[in-house]
A and B are shown apart, each in its own frame.
Chain A
Amino acid sequence: MSWEQVFELLKSIIITQTGLPHLHIGQLVMFCVGFFFLYLAIAKEYEPLLLVPIGFGIFLVNFPLTPLMGYSEHGYPELIQFFYKYGIKWEIIPCVIFMGLGAMTDFGPLIANPKTLLIGAGAQLGVFITYIGTLFFGFTLKEAASVAIIGGADGPTTIYLTAKLAPHLLGANALAAYSYMAMVPLIQPPIMRLMTTPEQRRIKMRQLRPVSQREKLLFPLIATTFIILLIPAVAPLMGLFMFGNLMRECGVVKRLSDTAQHALMNTVTIFLGISVGATMQAEVFLSWKPMLIFGAGLLDFIVCTFGGILTVHIMNRFLKEKMNPLIGSAGVSAVPMAARVSQMEGLKADPDNWLIMHAMGPNLAGVIGSASAAGMFIAMFN
């Protein structure tokens, strides 16, 4: 074999079997995007449980010629495509995550003060305003719905709805949702201060009544009945959410509850994050739509916060015992971050005013409200 032939052979191997010659600028940009989210997750600890696998998924999938998100020569899905297809496309993972969330949730504050359900509903205002707004920018009806649900501040719901209605926007929507959820302590306080007076922030609320274990046990059954009868489309999400809660509250399946809260939740979170990140290939992500989605997502959060506080103001017109409007922002269902923000703002106004348990009610109501909004959108397009 001559040297020329050797060099030819080397050249063809490098071109056809290595990724180097196929690397392009878009992929380098996506590496930077992946690194940015890894930085946010690791250095700033912004939602690390999701942003670490998402960030790494972005990084991994943007290497050229990788057998990750396609189909093999025999027609089988490749590794991450397998997770995506059977976990997300089939809508399994978001529902299992919701089951774990239900197993972690104590609905006591919501049961003690059911009025706060209305705050959870009012906090979905941003979802519908954003839906109309994104239509102006050329999004289709389904894309607009999937972007709008970001304001519900519920990761699994966002992923569930987007996978159903606009799967090509999954990566951008999930990133926007989790990023803004982590930034709730930055986004909400200015709006809360703008919409409330110092006197209103100092309103002290009566201690919540004690909630018996029996009530907490029956709540998932009652809630499932009402919600699914009225919005059947939300049955997969709400059904598993309440099932997880029932496992927690019944007390006789501690092992199952622990598994749902810890091992199972962690397992599906890994697959979810990496699958979502892997949908963000350069060809799909680098367009004007993801940028708009990030902008729309921020607006969505702002309007949802506004909607929650406004709902409390409206309710206070009819209530004898006024509610502190700061808990309205907790209707944005970033649990428990939004409730903590209400607590901190309440303490700033009055160091003796402890709002955390009062704010947990609307926070949990927001979970139900955002799932209901998702169900409404699904029903709209069915």
Chain B
Amino acid sequence: MITLKKRFSLLLAILFLCLSGCEGFKNKESGGGGESLKADCVRGSERIYSCTMIPRGKSVRVPLEFAVSSGRLSSFSATHFTEAADPAVDTKDFKYGLFTVEIEGIHPGGEVEFAVRSPEFFKATAYWIYNKNASPTWTDPEAESREIEKLLTAGKKPAETGHGAPASANKAAARAKRKTREMTIRVKDGGAFDSDGKADGRIVLVGGPKDSFWGYALGTLFIRFFGIFIVLIVLMAGMIASGKVFQRMEAAEEKKKRGDVEATEGSGDSDKGEGSAEGLSPEAAAAVAVALHMHFTGLLSSEPIDLRVSPAGPWTLDGRGRIMSERCLVFNRKAR
């Protein structure tokens, strides 16, 4: 049997957990909720850029890596989607946002392999390219997608793993190794995917990882549906806790009032008659009124009263409820 004190403590614990666990509903500035698409990128080498960001629909940072097989990545930036807006393409599909990559130092008209890696990519994830000079402006180059053995973490440096390393780092590393997916695209200088459209030894690639719309929609909807439960559970916990507090306070006040009344009665005031109406609550008064009404109506009527249809207001209904729960007898008027 859980005592009142333990129940109250449990409710407070649940409230605390719900509040601290509500990462998904933090505002944009704190980076939670997955609505912020700001990527923090650092150059790993001449041919690699490593980024971490909170994609749409998530509340934790994920790593992404962009690499080229030849040449060098001279410039790398996140691009606002309005620059590449197209009615045929929905921004919601690009939960990582868009990136503009400039590759230099390649032979004019040459080809280079461009790779994007992340442990968060699925087999269905594609890398779409935007080229304002092409028609259609958005294309899916059908990147080759495969799983690779590469350690990617959300920190700026890969965590140290192996013997002597913290268990959490080894766990995260094992998870990363198991899941890192790489998408590779062959891009030709001056080709269909090169935004500058010139075979000049420089490729400008604008695009981003695109996930299945339904995956996002269903995922986010589940979160938000259960989010309503979380909000209302938190409110319920608060109401239960405050209800208990108020009931205790009122019980204490009632006790004190009764004590005062008894003290007053005991001091010799006997002129109260058969009963005093002072202590009668409005609910009890309503219940008595309904009982009298039913009794006298029953006496006058030769037919049983149809209790199913009633224009009675909330007080009378409340009174009826109280009478029934006290198991008041209802006379069978037909038998009279």
A residues with CB within 8 A of B: 110-112, 114-115, 117-118, 120-122, 124-125, 128, 131-132, 135, 141, 206-207, 209-210, 212, 214-215, 218-219, 222-223, 226-227, 230-232, 347, 351-352, 354, 356-357, 365, 368-369, 372-373, 376-377, 379-380, 382
Contacts and interface: CB of A to CB of B under 8 A. Distances in A.
Contacts of A365: 232
B224 A351 contact: no
B228 A124 contact: yes
Contacts of A354: 317, 320-321, 324
The 7 closest A-B pairs by CB, nearest first: A114-B239, A376-B224, A117-B232, A117-B236, A121-B232, A114-B236, A121-B229
A215 B246 contact: yes
5 contacts: A128-B225, A222-B238, A231-B25, A232-B27, A354-B321
B263 interface: no
Contacts of A110: 239
B318 interface: yes
Given A132-B221, A351-B308, A379-B33, A226 B243 contact: no
A112 B224 CA distance: 27
Q: Which of under 10, 10 to 19, 20 to 34, or 35 or more describes the interface residues of B?
A: 35 or more
Interface string B67-107: 00000000000000000000000101000000000000000
A379 B318 CA distance: 41
A215 B248 CA distance: 12
Given A111-B239, A121-B228, A232-B27, A207 B321 contact: yes
Contacts of B231: 121, 226-227, 230-231, 372
A354 to B, nearest CB: 5
A265 to B, nearest CB: 21
Contacts of A368: 232, 235
Contacts of B229: 118, 121-122
Contacts of A369: 228, 232
B320 A209 contact: no
Contacts of B217: 132, 135, 141
- Of B220, B318, B322, most buried by chain A (CB within 10 Å of CB) is B318
A141 B224 contact: no
B234 interface: yes
Given A111-B239, A382-B35, A212 B321 contact: no
Contacts of B225: 124-125, 128
Contact of A373 (B33, B228, B233, B236): B228
